[in-house]
Chains A and B, each alone.
With several copies, the nearest count.
Chain A
């Protein structure tokens, strides 16, 4: 049984604001990968989805990841595929980039870089927040 076979409609017509909140680095733990899996599956439900990257979550989006040495799956290219799933609202917290010496140029996808107030506003608009 795979994920795809298990999707069922569950609330046709209802559109809620979902925020996926990513605060962890990739590879050191599985949260980043399994968060991405929820986002992809969730896309089939056609909700109003935003994905936020703050704290070490911004490391999920860095270019140049090469996992041959650790023998793990490099899932970073999948962030580029989000657009095809109509997941287009990706927000990155500017201070989290700054603290890590990163800029938008270091990231593998186009994102909206926001400040603390904008991020707090975004969080406060949501109906469902999934934390990873």
Chain B
């Protein structure tokens, strides 16, 4: 089964990103294909490399990056949502005249069309949010 996942909330504040991560991990372990994880709304806040959570807690952003690296999963941050909330890659930072970027490894920034495409291409789309 080819799966698309949408994540509407950032790390920690709500469980949505945790649930989505556990779902994606379980799906991969069962041999399903994760076509794309699309981060929308505050979900884009999952894609920062500047977080330093307490040692005794999970590292939500790192965990996504590691899962993506291990299983070649496409993690996409919505460009419009990311611009509103201050998540930028090097290109976006340059384009918008910012002196720094903060995107985490394994994430890329792209348009909402990538969400629609996931809906078209996937057998199922599952939405996680608040």
Interface residues of A (CB under 8 A from B): 1-8, 10-11, 14, 16, 18, 27-31, 34, 37-38, 41-42, 44-45, 47, 70-73, 127-132
Interface centre among A4, A14, A131 (most CB of B within 10 A): A131
A73 and B56 contact, CB distance less than 8 A:
yes
The one of A30, A45, A70 in contact with B116, judged by C-beta atoms closer than 8 angstroms, is A45
The reply to whether A72 and B57 form a contact with Cβ atoms under 8 Å apart is yes
Chain B 1-40, CB-CB to A under 8 Å as 1, else 0, gives 0000010100011110010001000000000000000001
B80 contacts A by Cβ under 8 Å: yes
**B residues whose Cβ falls under 8 Å from a Cβ of A:** 6, 8, 12-15, 18, 22, 40-41, 54, 56-58, 79-81, 91-92, 95, 109-117, 119-121, 125, 127, 129-130
A70 to B113 CA separation, bound complex (whole angstroms): 30
Q: In the complex, which of the residues B81, B109, B110 contacts A34, with contact meaning CB atoms closer than 8 Å? A: B81
Which one of A41, A73, A128, A132 lies within 8 Å of B113 (CB-CB)?
Answer: A41
Assuming A1-B79, A1-B91, A128-B125, is B58 touching A37 (CB within 8 A)?
no
Given A8-B117, A29-B13, A38-B116, 5 new contacts (CB under 8 A): A1-B111, A28-B14, A29-B15, A42-B113, A42-B115
Indicate if the CB atoms of A130 and B119 lie closer than 8 Å.
Answer: yes
Bound: A45/B120 CA distance, A: 9
Out of B58, B95, B115, name the residue touching A72 (CB < 8 Å).
B58
Known: A1-B91, A72-B58, A131-B129. A16 touches B111 (CB 8 A): no
Whether the Cβ atoms of A30 and B12 lie closer than 8 Å is yes
Can you pick out 10 interface pairs between chain A and chain B where the beta carbons lie within 8 Å of each other? A1-B109, A6-B114, A29-B130, A31-B8, A42-B116, A44-B113, A70-B15, A71-B18, A73-B58, A130-B6
| Nearest CB of chain B from residue A119's CB, rounded to whole Å | 18
Chain B residues within an 8 Å CB radius of A10: 113-114, 116-117, 120-121
Roughly how many angstroms separate A129 CA and B121 CA in the complex, as a whole number?
14
Given A3-B80, A6-B110, A128-B119; A30-B125 close (CB under 8 Å): no
Residues of B contacting A70 with CB < 8 Å? Answer: 15, 18, 22
Whether the Cβ atoms of A30 and B13 lie closer than 8 Å is: yes
CB distance from A83 to the nearest CB of B (A): 19
* B18 CB contacts on chain A under 8 angstroms: 70-72
The answer, among A1, A3, A30, A127, for a CB contact under 8 Å with B41, is A30
